[in-house]
């Protein structure tokens, strides 16, 4: 019966224990609807709160000890400052036999060098200080040392590739043989041609580039120097040294251009050629920036020219150089023009070749050097062949070298002098 079911649904039985409450109409204000979401507490807007980031300690400066010859290096945490300390020494035994004289021998510390180098305020601002503290480095004689220990003290700014600037006391960028370090030679020492015609250290400045125009084939030097040689300190006149050098690399520039041996056994041909000219205005010394002062006093205007070439490939090396010097003697303010000694005019050359044998770093090299006077000159005629053996324990840094040189002062028919040298070099 439908009417009975409807009546039962309309009846709401009371819950047990709870009295029946009838609804009364609400006559107050309209109620605010309540959401079923949980209540939230209102927080006024505030500034963003930054969580403290986890900070790592700042990087510390690093100190590294390199392989022999690379020295001890300190580098700042930001890389803007560095200092490298290097040490190098050469112990030499020398036996000399001259005609009509008894043989003589010597054992000496030929070179003892301490070098500081690095950069400051960036890698393009470099410095170098090299000290020579052996008796030969300081020109020691019975009267005492002739020089201070300072060999090189130079600042260089290389930000501009084609216009790098260097100032200080250092080797003049004139001849390749002299620009190379005495620690990177194939022989115990340099040739007689370099010994006569080189322009050694002086105080001045130069502009240069190792890769002119970015072509990877050219380099240059152009500079001015006081012309008084090493340890210049006093006021002087405006007679200075003017120098220019051009370098050509037919197969491109390479890192080992400043050493004689091919210890890396280059797999592609490497070659460099250099041409230089230097004018020494009013030279105080017979050889330009070094040597003795002329006996008759006065000064010399000297024109110097040189050309050199170097080739390396597969452990083989070839090197040659030629020099020319022409000077005009002139009297000083209080000296007469007559009675002046002649200039040291002439030319010289040197050629050498070597090969690094087998898997062991053993090298056999030979060379021939000569100097010749031209006209009325104080330059002696000399000829000297040299043969040498070298064993490289750790490149040029640690090596043992032996060479032998007969030397003729005039005619080859005269009896020569004989020189045997054995030298050990160690470098940190």
Strands, DSSP E only, in 358-416?
362-373, 382-394, 398-407
* 35 falls within a domain: no
Residue at 277 is within a domain: yes
Can you give the residue range of the structural domain that contains 290?
61-427
For residue 20, tell me if it sits in a domain: no
278-306 pLDDT, tens digit each: 999 999 999 999 988 887 778 999 999 99
**pLDDT number for residue 21:** 41
Is 251 inside any structural domain? yes
* First CA to last CA distance, the chain: 118
Given a cut of 80, whether residue 339 has pLDDT beyond it is no
Stronger pLDDT, 84 or 233, i.e. the higher one: 84
pLDDT at 12: 45
pLDDT higher than 80, residue 50: no
The verdict on residue 31 lying in a domain is no
Question: What is the overall mean pLDDT for the chain?
Answer: 88
What pTM was estimated for this model as a whole? 0.83
Q: Which residue has the higher pLDDT, 29 or 341?
A: 341
pLDDT tens readout for residues 202-219: 999 999 999 999 999 999
332 occurs within a structural domain: yes
Percent of the chain whose predicted confidence (pLDDT) is above 70: 85
Let me know: does 371 contact 325? Beta carbons within 8 Å: no
pLDDT value of position 52: 61
pLDDT at 334 > cutoff 70: no
Least confident window among 18-22, 89-93, 406-410: 18-22
**Is 21 a member of any domain?**
no
- The answer to whether the beta carbons of residues 418 and 97 sit under 8 Å apart is yes
Q: Which residue has the higher pLDDT, 209 or 338?
A: 209
Distances (CA, A) of 104 to 94, 140, 318, 384, 387: 8, 20, 33, 19, 21
What lies within 8 Å, CB to CB, of 295 at 6+ separation is 341
Take residue 86 and report the two structure tokens written for it: 């290097």
Least confident of 8-12, 186-190, 236-240, 378-382: 8-12
Note whether residue 158 is domain-resident: yes
The predicted pLDDT at position 28 comes to 52
How many beta carbons lie within 10 A of that of residue 69, not counting itself? Answer: 19
Could you tell me how many residues make up the chain?
428
Beta strands at 150-157 and 125-132: parallel, antiparallel or unpaired: antiparallel
Nearest 5°: CA angle at 110, between 104 and 114?
A: 170
Question: Stretch 169-189: mean pLDDT, rounded?
Answer: 96
Q: Is the pLDDT of residue 423 over 50?
A: yes
Of 41-55, 134-148, 326-340, give the lowest mean pLDDT range: 41-55
Output the pLDDT for position 6: 42
CA atoms within 13 A on the CB side of 130: 23
- How confident is residue 373, by pLDDT bands cut at 50, 70 and 90? very high
Least confident interval from 278-292, 325-339, 371-385: 325-339
Model confidence over 393-405: pLDDT tens digits?
999 999 999 999 9
Please tell me the predicted confidence (pLDDT) of residue 41. 52
Per-residue DSSP letters for 100-143? Answer: TS--EEEEEEEEEEEEEEEESSSTTEEEEEEEE-STTTTT-BTT
The predicted structure's pLDDT at residue 67: 87
20 pLDDT band (50/70/90 cuts)? very low
- The whole-angstrom separation of Cα 194 and Cα 348 is 8
Number of domains in the chain: 1
CATH number where 372 lies: 2.40.160.10
Those residues whose C-beta lies under 8 Å from the C-beta of residue 10, and which sit 6 or more positions away, are none
E strands, 139-217, are 150-157, 164-171, 201-209
* 301 touches 292 (CB < 8 A): no
């Amino acid at each position: 019966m439908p009417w009975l079911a409807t009546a039962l649904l309309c009846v709401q039985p009371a819950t047990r224990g709870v009295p029946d409450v009838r609804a009364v109409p609400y006559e107050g204000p309209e109620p605010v609807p309540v959401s079923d979401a949980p209540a939230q507490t209102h927080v006024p807007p505030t500034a963003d709160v930054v969580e403290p980031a986890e900070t790592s300690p700042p990087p510390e400066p690093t100190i590294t000890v390199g392989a022999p010859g690379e020295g001890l290096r300190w580098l700042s945490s930001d890389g803007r400052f560095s200092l490298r300390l290097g040490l190098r020494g050469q112990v030499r035994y020398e036996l000399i036999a001259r005609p009509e004289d008894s043989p003589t021998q010597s054992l000496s510390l030929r070179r003892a060098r301490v070098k500081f180098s690095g950069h400051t305020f960036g890698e393009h601002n470099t410095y170098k200080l090299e000290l020579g503290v052996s008796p030969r480095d300081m020109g020691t004689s019975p009267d005492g040392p002739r020089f201070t220990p300072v060999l090189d003290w130079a600042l260089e700014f290389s930000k501009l590739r084609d216009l790098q600037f260097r100032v200080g006391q250092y080797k003049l960028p004139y001849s390749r043989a002299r620009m190379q370090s005495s620690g990177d030679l194939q022989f115990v020492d340099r040739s007689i041609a370099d010994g006569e015609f080189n322009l050694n250290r002086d105080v001045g400045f130069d502009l240069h580039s190792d890769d002119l125009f970015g072509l990877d084939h050219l380099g240059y030097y152009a500079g001015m120097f006081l012309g008084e040689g090493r340890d210049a300190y006093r006021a002087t006149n405006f007679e200075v040294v003017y120098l220019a050098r051009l370098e050509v690399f037919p197969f491109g520039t390479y890192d080992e251009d400043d050493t004689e041996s091919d210890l890396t056994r280059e797999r592609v041909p490497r070659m460099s050629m250099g041409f230089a000219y230097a004018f020494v205005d009013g030279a105080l010394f017979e050889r330009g920036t070094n040597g003795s002062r002329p006996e008759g006093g006065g000064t010399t205007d000297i024109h110097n020219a040189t050309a050199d070439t170097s080739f390396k490939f597969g452990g083989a090396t070839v090197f040659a150089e030629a020099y020319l010097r022409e000077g005009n003697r002139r009297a000083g303010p209080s000296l007469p023009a007559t009675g002046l000694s002649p200039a040291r005019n002439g030319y010289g050359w040197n050629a050498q070749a070597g090969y690094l044998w087998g898997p062991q770093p053993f090298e056999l090299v030979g060379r021939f050097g000569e100097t010749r006077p031209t006209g009325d000159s104080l330059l002696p005629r000399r000829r000297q062949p040299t043969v040498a053996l070298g064993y490289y324990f750790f490149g040029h840094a640690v090596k043992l070298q032996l060479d032998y040189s007969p030397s003729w002062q005039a005619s080859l028919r005269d009896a020569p002098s004989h020189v045997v040298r054995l030298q050990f070099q160690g470098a940190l």
